[in-house]
Every structure is written in structure tokens, then in C-alpha cells.
Structure 1
Amino acid sequence: MDFQFNTGNKVDGDARMDEHFETRFRERLERFEPRLSRIEVHVRDTDGTRRDGPDGIEAVIEARPYNGEPLTASDKAGTPEAAVNAALQKLVTRLDATFGKADRVRK
């Protein structure tokens, strides 16, 4: 499974952040790994320099199954870590539902 981490130009993303999230994703998605070709994470600042809201950072995660349509999940939070973690939880729920249904149909 390939992993790609992208940040907008207003979000500080460095190699440590990329490595941290890749490790976290590989741990959380381990059981789905044989079915996924790629994970892309996009983190961006949605309110620019106006820092008055708690939901100024958005994370969008796209999981690409080998034989299926891409699945996405997103969330907003005050920090990149919180936004990514919330979106990851949503993605795990979607993957459970999608692959669980596919497994039941195959039987």
C-alpha cells in the first residue's frame, strides 16, 4: 500500500509529520492493507490567517481499493493531528462497512 501525505502551503508539514502519520495509518489500516493500493492524505488550512475558529484545519483522506471506487473521509479540527485522526476514524468505519458488505456478498 502506497502512502502519500500532502499539506497546503499554510500548513506546516515536515518529514516527521509525514512519518508519524504513515506509521499511524499503517497500524490502523493493517487489516485492510491487502485490499488497498494507495492512501492519500490532504491537509489544508481552511480559514487562512483568520485563526478565530476551532475548525480551521481540514483533513481529507482517500483510500483506493484495488478493484473498486475510491473511498473518502474528511473532518475539520483546530490542529492537523486532530483533523487527521478524526478523518481516519471515519475512514476505518467506511472501510469496515464497505469490505464487510463485499465479504457477505461473496459467501
Structure 2
Amino acid sequence: MQIQVNTDSNIVGRDALQTHVGDVVKHALHRVHTHITRVEVYLSDENGNKSGQNDKRCVMEARLEGKKPVAVTHHAANLHQAIDGAAYKLIRLLDSNLGRAHAQKTRAKVPAGVDADAELVAAD
């Protein structure tokens, strides 16, 4: 899994920030990393040198093998919170998408005439 970090001109400390982003992304996506080819992270300060509430933005885009890329955005008061929030949203989205794909594959294997959604009742 390749991780690419992009920042706008208002972001300071790019090298340390790249290391932090890499660590957060690897930790958050460790369960699904085999399905991901690349993660692109875009960090920006929407107000530039002016202060503002929740003006730091992190966009994470994950490219999945054989699927369209998915992206999430998180705004926060500082970059670390924005990165953590985006990573949390991304893993939830990937879990949902990959789980749905797995369920569709499993459902496709159900033999004809068997209702996959039928309620299971224990036999006495």
C-alpha cells in the first residue's frame, strides 16, 4: 500500500507530518491493507494564516483493487484531529464497502431454492 501526502502552501512541518500521516493510515487500515493499492491524503488550512474554528481539512482517498476510489473528508481545529477523523471515516467506509462485496460473493454461492434471508430456527 502506497501512501501519498499532499499539502497546501499553508501547512508547516511537512516531513514530520508525512511520517505522522503514514503511521495513522497504516494503523487504521491494517486489516484491509491487502485490498488497497494507494491512499492519497490531502491536507489543507482553509483559512490560510487567519484563525478559524475547524479550518483544517483532511481528505483521504483510497484506491481499491478492481474498484473505484473512495474518499472521505474531515474538518477539525488542528491537523492531527483532522487526520485522525478522516482515518476513522475511511476505515468505516472501507469496512462497509468490503463487507458488502464479501456478502454479495457469499450470497451468490447460496444454492438455488435456498432463501438466504430466511430466519434460522433451531431444531429441537
Partner of 1:96: 95
TM-score, normalised relative to structure 1: 0.94
In the TM superposition, residue 13 of structure 1 has moved relative to its aligned partner by: 3.5
Q: How many residues align?
A: 106
For structure 2, the residue ranges without an aligned partner over 5 or more in a row are 107-124
* Structure 2 residue identity aligned to 1:26: K
Q: Which has the higher helix share?
A: 1
What is the letter of the counterpart of residue 103 of structure 2?
A: R
- TM-score norm. by structure 2 comes to 0.81
Structure 1: tracts of 5 or more residues without a match: none
1:31 paired residue number: 31
Distance 1:65 1:80 in 2: 25
Q: Which residue of 2 aligns with 1:54?
A: 53
SS at match of 1:67: coil
Aligned-residue offset at 1:34: 0.7
Q: Residue 31 of structure 1: SS of its match in structure 2?
A: coil
What SS does the aligned partner of 1:30 have?
Answer: coil
Alignment of 1:40 onto 2:37: no
Contact 1:7/1:13 (<8 A) preserved? no
CA deviation string 1:18-42 (max 9, x = no partner): 1121112111101111100000100
**Structure with larger Rg:** 2
Is this contact kept in 2: 1:56–1:76, CA < 8 A? yes
Task: Name the CA distance, whole Å, in 1 between partners of 2:20 and 2:50.
Answer: 27
CA RMSD across the alignment: 1.0
Give, as a single letter, the amino acid of the residue that structure 2 aligns with 1:69.
Answer: K
Kindly, what percent of the aligned residue pairs are identical?
26
Letter in 2 for 1:31: R
In the alignment, the residues of structure 1 paired with residue 15 and residue 31 of structure 2 have an alpha-carbon distance, to the nearest angstrom, of: 25
Displacement of 1:56 in angstroms is: 1.0
Report what 1:81 is aligned to: 80
